[in-house]
Amino acid sequence: MVEKKTRRDERIEENVGLVHTCAGRFRGRGVEYDDLVQAGCVGLCKAADGFDETRGFAFSTYAVPMILGEIRRLFRDGGCVKVGRSVKERARELVRTQQALEAELGREPTVTELSARAGLDAAETAFLLGAVQPAVSLTADADAHERQIDVPVPPPDAQIDDRVALQNALQTLGADERRLIELRYFRGWTQTKTAEQLGISQVQVSRKEKRILQRMREKLL
């Protein structure tokens, strides 16, 4: 019987898209996309384990740096995901369960059906299945039995890091301070228009803005 989902499991399932977004930034750098995703999933699981919602940060803000960190570690470790012996053994057992269930159903079981039979959650089932699957290029011509390397493009992963750092810095501001920054830099309002909206003078907006930006620079550095 499958146990009731924990909030950790829900966070993982709800944020798998973050893994694909981060992995996509590293396409064409010599590592198969499937390996990038697998490493990113490790980072996502670590983020779910270490996340403290009482600190007031969004889970995605906390998770992205850890996902990117695991993907970068993949490159440092030589471009392949190291699968431990215990994981391999569990994965082989799961494959046997999958084959037995497929024989019963007369078709390939879904991840949900397989996880229910194996007594695992969906995220762990997907991880174990991925651990025993060979990496295949998404751009390869299957009919021609080719293994094509994706066309290299400059990955904007640095932009992701900057965005996460900025979000973290904004989280340290008070509500009124965040509102001022939002109006000035996200909406592009002038200081005069911002002052009218906030009910203060343009001089006060200018002074507050300078103080806030200085604090944010310190956080970012």
Displacement of CA 70 from its chain's centroid (Å): 10
Side-chain half-sphere exposure of 161, counting CA atoms within 13 A? 11
- pTM: predicted TM-score of the whole model, two decimal places: 0.40
Mean pLDDT of 206-216: 88
Residue 172 near residue 219, CB atoms below 8 Å = yes
pLDDT > 70: percent of the chain? 76
Rounded Cα–Cα distance for residues 186 and 194 (Å):
12
Spatial contact of 181 and 212, defined as CB atoms under 8 Å apart: yes
All CATH 1.10.10.10 domain ranges in the chain, comma separated: 172-220
CA distance linking residue 185 with residue 167, whole number of Å: 13
pLDDT band at residue 84, thresholds of 50, 70 and 90? Answer: low
Output 87 or 215, whichever has higher pLDDT: 215
Fold for the domain defined by 172-220: Arc Repressor Mutant, subunit A (1.10.10)
> 84-131 in CATH: which number?
1.10.10
Q: Which CATH architecture has domain 1-83?
A: Up-down Bundle (1.20)
Residue of higher predicted confidence among 171 and 139: 171
**E-assigned strands of the chain?**
none
Mean pLDDT of 38-46: 89
At residue 202's C-alpha, the angle toward residues 200 and 203, to 5°, is 100
Give per-residue pLDDT as tens, 146-199.
Answer: 444 443 444 444 555 566 667 777 777 888 998 998 898 888 888 899 999 999
In 3D space, the residue among 201, 141, 164 whose CA is nearest the CA of residue 67 turns out to be: 164
- How far apart are the C-alpha atoms of 41 and 96, rounded to whole Å? 23
pLDDT for 89: 80
Radius of gyration of the chain (CA): 23
Count of residues in the chain: 221
Question: Residue 200: what pLDDT?
Answer: 92
CATH 1.20.120.1810 positions along the chain are 1-83
Tens-place pLDDT, residues 86-107: 777 888 888 888 888 888 888 8
